[in-house]
Homo-oligomer: A and B are copies of this chain.
């Protein structure tokens, strides 16, 4: 069994955090760095991360998040917010950054920029947003693993009102839409109904098909 599989088996969706245990800054920064390094389609990274530690704001988020206590009891609340559209400006920002970092460009690369600009222009704003939201979930996959490697507990959550969360964080003005949130922290010593229950996954034969 690999170290990664050990970490995936260790983690679970924490139902009760210990509110007095704070995740050290260096661990948080490593988790954020892992998310930042995550692959996305055409390297667009079409989402942003908000790290909410402010208690008052977390109370507001809890109120529009099914009153789930992890939102206020956790150490750091991570919000994944996707681009509300993939605009030409945003695509050009990424391609220009790439040229700047690599100190070069090429005809193939510039042709690909034009091709991508054409694709996103043809799609509706909603289609571009949905595409961006999917990329944020790649980052979520990374974040869950990164937290486990730090022995930090986490709870991926879709159970909140995204429009209300956008209002609380002022995301609309930034042309972002919240898609998923991830409390990070440390499990409470007691009161977590899930911690001792078996992880349940479909067996390989009901999940994987080999086409030989």
Task: List the interface of chain A (C-beta within 8 A of B).
Answer: 1-5, 8-9, 11, 13, 30, 32-34, 36-39, 41, 43, 45, 48-54, 57, 94, 97-98, 101-102, 108, 130, 133-135, 137-142, 144-146, 149-150, 156, 158, 169, 179, 193, 197-202, 204, 207-212
Could you tell me if A208 and B8 are in contact, using CB atoms closer than 8 angstroms?
Answer: no
Contacts of A94 in B (CB 8 A): 200, 202
Copy number in this complex?
A: 2
Contacts of A51 in B (CB 8 A): 208-211
Chain B proximity of A99: nearest CB distance (Å):
9
* Chain B, Cβ-Cβ closest to A130: B130
* Chain B, Cβ-Cβ closest to A154: B39
Could you tell me if A50 and B8 are in contact, using CB atoms closer than 8 angstroms?
Answer: no
Q: State the CA gap A146–B7 with chains docked (Å).
A: 11
Q: State the CA gap A3–B51 with chains docked (Å).
A: 23
Could you tell me if B49 and A207 are in contact, using CB atoms closer than 8 angstroms?
Answer: yes
Could you tell me if A57 and B201 are in contact, using CB atoms closer than 8 angstroms?
Answer: no
Contacts of A156 in B (CB 8 A): 39, 41, 138
Could you tell me if B145 and A4 are in contact, using CB atoms closer than 8 angstroms?
Answer: yes
Q: State the CA gap A37–B50 with chains docked (Å).
A: 26
Contacts of A144 in B (CB 8 A): 38-39, 138, 141-142
Contact of A2 (CB < 8 Å), options: B30, B43, B199, B204? B30
Contact A39-B54, Cβ < 8 Å, known A30-B5, A101-B200, A141-B140: no
Contact A50-B209, Cβ < 8 Å, known A156-B41, A200-B102: yes
Contact of A98 (CB < 8 Å), options: B97, B130, B200, B212? B200
Contacts of A36 in B (CB 8 A): 201-202, 204, 207-208
Q: Given A45-B207, A54-B212, 7 other A-B contacts at CB below 8 A?
A: A2-B149, A2-B150, A11-B39, A41-B156, A50-B208, A101-B200, A130-B130
Q: State the CA gap A94–B201 with chains docked (Å).
A: 9
